[in-house]
Each structure stands twice: as C-alpha cells, then as structure tokens.
Structure 1
Amino acid sequence: MTLANPRADRIKQVRALAGRSARSRHELYLVEGPQGVREAVRHAPSSVRDVYLTPAAASRYAEIVDDARAAGLFLHLGTPEVLEAMSADAQGVLAVVRSSAPSLGEALDARDPERAGRPLLAAVLATVRDPGNAGTVIRAADAAGADLVVLAGESVDVHNPKVVRSTAGSLFHLPVVTGLSLEATVAQLRAVGCHVLAADGSGPLDLDDLLDSAGSGASPDLAGPTAWVFGNEAWGLPEEDRALADAVVRVPIRGKTESLNLAAAATVCLYASSRAQR
C-alpha cells in the first residue's frame, strides 16, 4: 500500500522530528535524502526504525530497498506529496532513526579494527553552534580516518536535520559523542595518551612546522595520538579553553584572506595528522 494522505497523523509525527523537542521526546530523528539513508541502512540498520520512499525513488535507488529488505527494516512507499509533507529536503527518500549517544569510553572501546594499529585521532568541537559546520567537520573527520568526534559544551544538537544532512552519511561511519564538557573530554582523551592540540589563528606553533617534524620525537608530535579542539565559528576558543590544550596551533595563511572558516581549518588539521600518522 502506498501512503497517499499528506495530512495523516503518521506524516505529521514524522515531520515533527525536524524540531528538537519532538526528537528528544521520542528519541528519534530524521535522515533525509538518498546518501544519508543509504549509509544509515548499510552501516547502522539496527538503529533505523522506518524507511520511506516514493515509487520513483524506490526504482532509482534499488540498493537502498535491497539493503533495507535484507536487514528486515520497515519499508514504506509514499506519494511525492507525502514525502514532501514529511520533509522538503527528502528528495523522495527518508528514514526515521533511533537516537543513540555513545559515551566517550564506549567510542574509544569501539574503535574501528582497520585503525587499531594507528595512533588515535579525534576531533573535538567546543561550543560549535552552526549545524552546517558541525556536520561538515564530522564528514571531514570521517574522510581523514579519525576515530571519533565529540560535540562538547553547548554545541549544536548532532541530530539537527541540517547537521545530519551535512555529514552526508558520515554520521553512521564513526562515533559522535555528545553531552560532555570540554574539560571532561580533554581529561578523558589525555588519559588514553592523546596530545590535545587547540586550533587557533593566534597559536604560537605553525601546523607546517609540526608536520615537518612529525615522527622525530618532538613534542607535540602529529604522528602520535592526537585530539584536535576546534572552537566556535564567531569567537573561536576563549583563553580558558586554549589553556586546556597541550599546545595551540595555527594553520598558516599564505594568501591575503584573514582566516579560514571552522570546517576548512578542521579539515586541514585533521588531514595533517592523518598524513603524519601514516
């Protein structure tokens, strides 16, 4: 049966998950669009409650349908009007996913076996409020081979629809920890041997210099276990947050731009560590 009534209660309940209060109350969130849904179904099927597609999307993205059926997930067809009523950003494909929030200890214990022989690499977002930036950093951390991401302090809700979309499915590839203060996060990561590096444009250490000396035994050593701390988009890292780090590092600016935005700077720093750790 194809869902055809865009005003049905089920449709309204799904649409309400765009709001934080409904997500918190039901412990569910939306994954919109074929890329995110594909990765959720493939990499976190036990967390997926329902998958919705238009008939045209079901035909176009047959791999999503096949993976969902293989995982025994609830699969629903709906008219384009129904999917549009659920989410204007669904592109004909939508999933309702159960919220999960691993602790930092659980995330460390669940480290990807493919990276088990390499030093730990973590990205920590300190009071990052912009959902697009947060999602892009999660995606960059995934691409760089990081082990985990922490959204510390008063950072944006990781299940905000724009965060989820901006991760392009990376949310289902590595643990994302929330609910910790920056102080507690730094303490736990330092306890497992991480050097904690704060990224800040005023930092006394140059990222290129650290990359040049990586593996030589210098401190801090990008070739070793590293946790990068990135600050708020508007005001960066305040002095008390920078003081929690072992060192403050700047990304060199060779052109005339004043600075890099958060997501770009995080990508550069994470890839520098990834290269050094190879």
Structure 2
Amino acid sequence: MTELTNVRSERVKVTRSLAGRSARSRAGRFLVEGPQGVREAVRFAPGQVRDIYFTRDSYERYTEIVVESELAGMVTHVASEEVLNLMSPDAQGVLAVLDLPAAQDPAQHLEVLLDAGPRLVAVLSNVRDPGNAGAVIRAADAAGADLVVLTSESVDIHSPKVVRSTAGSLFHLPVVTGLPLTEIVAALSRRGLTTLAADGVGTHDLDDLLDTAGSATDGVPDLSQPSAWIFGNEAWGLREEERALADAVVRVPIRGKAESLNLATAATVCLYASSRAQR
C-alpha cells in the first residue's frame, strides 16, 4: 500500500478542517480519532465510514480493525506519522472520516425512539463541555440506558473531543439533539417515564430511593420504573426553572468534604442506581 506523505495535499487540509463545526456541516462528515473509537465505528456504523487512516505501525498493530474494515469494503490508507498528526494530533495512529447521520426532525426522531418503550434515558441540558458530554454518553451506554438526549443549547456531539470521550459509545445507542428541555420532558412524560433532575439541592436522597425501589410510596419516585435523568451544566447545574420541569429533584449524597461531584461522575452514579433498581 502506497504511504501518504504529502503534508500539503488537499486530503490533509480537508480532513484537518473537520475539527471545526462549520467545516463538518459543509462537508457532512466528522472525525473519529483513536483505535477504540474507530473499531466501534467499523463494527456499529459501517455505512457511515468513508476513509480510515493508519500509520505504518498502527496498520500492523491493529490487525483486527484492518481486517474487519477491508473485509467490509471500507477504504483504508497508510499515512506517514507527520501526515496523520497534521490531520489530527489526537489520532493515536488511527483516524476515520465518517458521514454525519442523515438529518432528521429531532422531535419526530425522539417520538420514534420513545415508541420502543425505553426504560432508562439520560438528558443533558446546557451541557457544553465536550469531555463531560462524551463521558455521560459513555456512562449511559455502560449502564444500559436506551437513549441519550441533548438540548439544543448543548455541545455538538460530533466535535472530535465529544466523539473521542465516548470511546465508541456514540455508535452503540441513539443520541438525539436539537430540542428545548421543555419539549423533551413533555415527550418523556407522555410516555410515562418519571423525570428525575439530578441536583445538589434535591429533596430526595439517591440512597433512600434505592432503598425503597420497587415499593415506593406516593410522592416518592420509584427507581425501578422507567425513568429519565436530567443533568445540567457543569458550572451552574440545573436552573430553578429546569428543575421545576421534573417530577422530582434528586441529590447524590456527599459523605466526605468534597463540595460537589463532577457532572460525568454524578451522572454515572445516578444512571447506575436506576440500572440496578430496574434489574
């Protein structure tokens, strides 16, 4: 296979530009960086994969990705380390260019997904840090959630850092973006999901809810039932009007001297609590 070595080529320029949102929108493509993300894209989103780039070393090291992608008829390339680093400094030797998913009306898309009767949903409201957004998507996948929804004020899920932070989970479960929180909560409530706002000022303690799961009394949310967790902005959490939309506001107990939990950590704790209760 001929090695790509021209650092001034149009291919390098165009691929590198996909780190920017406007370039992604114009091209209809996005980047997946690193062997884990690319491996999951090849396995779970093969129809979106346009090109895969390896350094010579990574081509020989990640043979399972090479074999799976080439057997599926995907286009693979070997590039010099200098070329790949220019395309993406975070590629770790493996980089893929994918087509963005076909545009859908987000409200209709959400309704179709809710028709399937999800039992656990993660909602991100005004979450703008790409690392946190990606980590929550990954946690939702690990906890067995059926769906992740991001409000229109949240980060672009196809930015390289979000994609990288999901470690491939972006390709494992549906993610809906582009709706206001009011519409999201209304749609969830119509389908009978209990909406739970995760916030340090919550009137309900998460441990108490785990203790009563399956036998909760009136006025106490039952974690064993289908539910959607709402997580807020990294800096200020959920605003009062956002908390008011939920059926209940739940706090994660802090037993030590920490002032609070990181958003992704708190989301992981909450999602796993529901996952355990629903078992």
Q: Secondary structure at the match of 1:96?
A: strand
Is 1:192 matched with 2:196? no
Report 1:239-258 matches (<5 A). Answer: 239-258=240-259
- Measured against aligned partners, the alpha-carbon deviations of 1:38-63 in whole angstroms (never above 9, x if no partner) come to 01001111111111111211110001
Say if 1:107 and 1:177, in contact at 8 Å, map to a contact too.
no
The change in CA–CA distance for 1:277 and 1:263 in structure 2 (over 3 A counts) is same
Say if 1:32 and 1:165, in contact at 8 Å, map to a contact too.
yes
Aligned partner of 1:91 in structure 2 is: 92
Aligned partner of 2:128 in structure 1 is: 129
Aligned partner of 2:142 in structure 1 is: 143
Aligned partner of 1:12 in structure 2 is: 13
Is 1:108 matched with 2:114? yes
Q: Secondary structure at the match of 2:179?
A: coil
- Measured against aligned partners, the alpha-carbon deviations of 1:168-214 in whole angstroms (never above 9, x if no partner) come to 11111111110111111111111221100000000100001111110
Is 1:33 matched with 2:34? yes
TM-score between the two structures when normalised by the length of structure 2: 0.94
The change in CA–CA distance for 1:203 and 1:217 in structure 2 (over 3 A counts) is closer
Instruction: Give the number of equivalent residue pairs.
Output: 271
Aligned partner of 1:166 in structure 2 is: 165
d(CA) in 2 for partners of 1:155, 1:107: 20
d(CA) in 1 for partners of 2:238, 2:216: 28
Query: How big is the shift at 1:217?
Result: 4.3
Q: Secondary structure at the match of 1:272?
A: helix
Q: Secondary structure at the match of 1:31?
A: strand
Query: How big is the shift at 1:231?
Result: 0.4
Query: How big is the shift at 1:69?
Result: 1.2
Letter in 2 for 1:246: D
d(CA) in 2 for partners of 1:46, 1:128: 29
d(CA) in 2 for partners of 1:255, 1:176: 34
- Measured against aligned partners, the alpha-carbon deviations of 1:111-151 in whole angstroms (never above 9, x if no partner) come to 6xxxx7xx610000000010010000001001100001111
Q: Secondary structure at the match of 1:95?
A: strand
Q: Which moved more, 1:131-140 or 1:65-74?
A: 65-74
- Unaligned runs of 5+ residues in structure 1 are none
Aligned partner of 2:3 in structure 1 is: 2
d(CA) in 2 for partners of 1:252, 1:90: 38
Letter in 2 for 1:84: N
d(CA) in 2 for partners of 1:106, 1:99: 20
The change in CA–CA distance for 1:128 and 1:4 in structure 2 (over 3 A counts) is same
Q: Secondary structure at the match of 1:15?
A: helix
Letter in 1 for 2:265: A
d(CA) in 2 for partners of 1:64, 1:167: 18
- Measured against aligned partners, the alpha-carbon deviations of 1:8-40 in whole angstroms (never above 9, x if no partner) come to 001100000000100111111100010100010
Q: Secondary structure at the match of 1:179?
A: strand
Is 1:277 matched with 2:278? yes
d(CA) in 1 for partners of 2:39, 2:4: 21
Query: How big is the shift at 1:106?
Result: 3.7
Query: Structure 1 runs of 4+ off > 3 angstroms?
Result: 106-109
Percent identity at matched positions? 68
